[in-house]
Chain A
């Protein structure tokens, strides 16, 4: 039966190739969507890791330091710090803004993280050094500016002294890191305020107007605004899988229609119907799996074209392989049903 199936695939090679290409394109888009989805989640992990620390302290009643803006006095950090118990605090200001001078196309939206140097937060630039004084910034590589570039943020001229890798959030928005005093000058009119305290150790007591958030709580807070986007991407992936499955099913069904006379002849000369089902099944699996394999290569080739920093992990590829096998089997049902319905007496009908 394998011989007959392979010969049939060769015979219809052009149609099979067209089906594989169409399904491959759809599978590649699902892989890219999945990569974007994953990158949205991974960038939040990287952002939380950037801050370091064991916990965060924010004003009671806030959802988190990234999504709400009710600053606290930075003097709280000194009150809660307890060197004897290895408890250290670093106030950070977190807000969104726009920079000019990064790209010729105009202003660019950025996240701003302002921190107090020599504290819990220790930026590790991939090039240059962390900002240590007002007028200096370190920026994420995705902003695309080299060291020494002068940016303008809220009318303040800032020199890029360092670049950081993978420090994006809110859907790939690049981050600008500056000193706390610079951030306070921009966001709080110079008042001694901060969005949160990043803490190492555990304080003995906490004022009633403050609460402790774990890094996981903060990460979830950071992810919440993206929930609609990530769910939409997930839904689109499923719909695209169905489109790919329909393409494979269409190829299988067309082949089965073309082969009605052949199937009738094979049944007439003694082939058991179940044996004949192998052809559409193998055809469905071959088209689907070949499309999935091609999609991995295509998606990998398309990754650099994306404005987001995204990568193709092993897990989405394995998921695609399993989905492709499942879709191939399900899609072949269209052809199998047609094969089973063929009356062998048709073989004796006239031409």
Chain B
């Protein structure tokens, strides 16, 4: 019996482009991620980390292979099923934060809930709780442009977590942070791990790799 947040990737091959410019950032990749663990996918730049996250997030259809999460194989060729997967199962934190510049911190975090029809007051309460828990209570109504890199990253993570997803994906979460902020980020990532959730981080930052429970090495050396 597969536990709730177990991930099985089997024979995954992704092709990008066509004709002579076709590339295969991932070829016949298989691994297992276990519920309640911090898993790091490591590879150098261009090694397929972001491509893998795109497939796991239901944003990219692989050429071959399968992805099973929580005992259910993802219908990666069906747009409605991919959208449903993103809504129900996935939380995302992007490498460059990708906060919406016109929204303040709390509205950025509310956005995923509002998109799925959650009542505005409920979404605001949930977003405020999350941001306060991350030490951003004094920054709720600041727009991204007036937040530091570390604060933007925390808002981005809060946005990924607001729907309480069983699969949380973070792409290079330390890429834009300085040394003290990296330490805080590692602590935050560890705190996200709990039963019923798999946290998967794509990075080539050795400090994050050392903090991981499991490591998937897409290429060697990492």
- Chain A residues in contact with chain B, CB under 8 A? 1, 3-4, 7-8, 10-12, 261-262, 265-266, 268-272, 275, 344-345, 347-351
Contact = CB atoms under 8 A, between A and B. Distances in A.
B59 A4 contact: no
Interface stretch (B18-26, B31-39, B92-100, B210-218): B92-100
A347 B102 contact: no
Given A265-B100, A347-B92, A348-B57, A3 B171 contact: no
Contact of A351 (B96, B101, B120): B96
Contacts of B159: 269
Contacts of A345: 54, 59-60
Contacts of A1: 114-115
Given A1-B115, A348-B53, A268 B92 contact: yes
B65 interface: no
Given A269-B159, A348-B53, A348-B92, 15 more contacts: A1-B114, A3-B103, A3-B107, A3-B114, A4-B114, A7-B100, A7-B102, A12-B102, A269-B92, A269-B115, A270-B87, A347-B98, A348-B54, A348-B95, A349-B50
Contact of A350 (B59, B96, B110): B96
Interface size classification for chain B: 20 to 34
A290 B75 CA distance: 45
A275 B95 CA distance: 25
B29 interface: no
Q: Which of B96, B101, B102, B159 has the most CB of A within 10 A?
A: B102
Given A3-B120, A265-B100, A271 B115 contact: yes
Nearest to A9: B102
Contacts of A351: 95-96
A347 B59 contact: yes
Contacts of A269: 86, 92, 111-112, 115, 159-160
B92 A11 contact: no
A197 B101 CA distance: 76
20 contacts: A1-B115, A4-B100, A4-B103, A4-B107, A7-B107, A265-B100, A266-B115, A269-B86, A269-B160, A270-B87, A270-B115, A270-B163, A271-B111, A275-B115, A344-B59, A345-B54, A347-B92, A348-B54, A348-B92, A350-B96
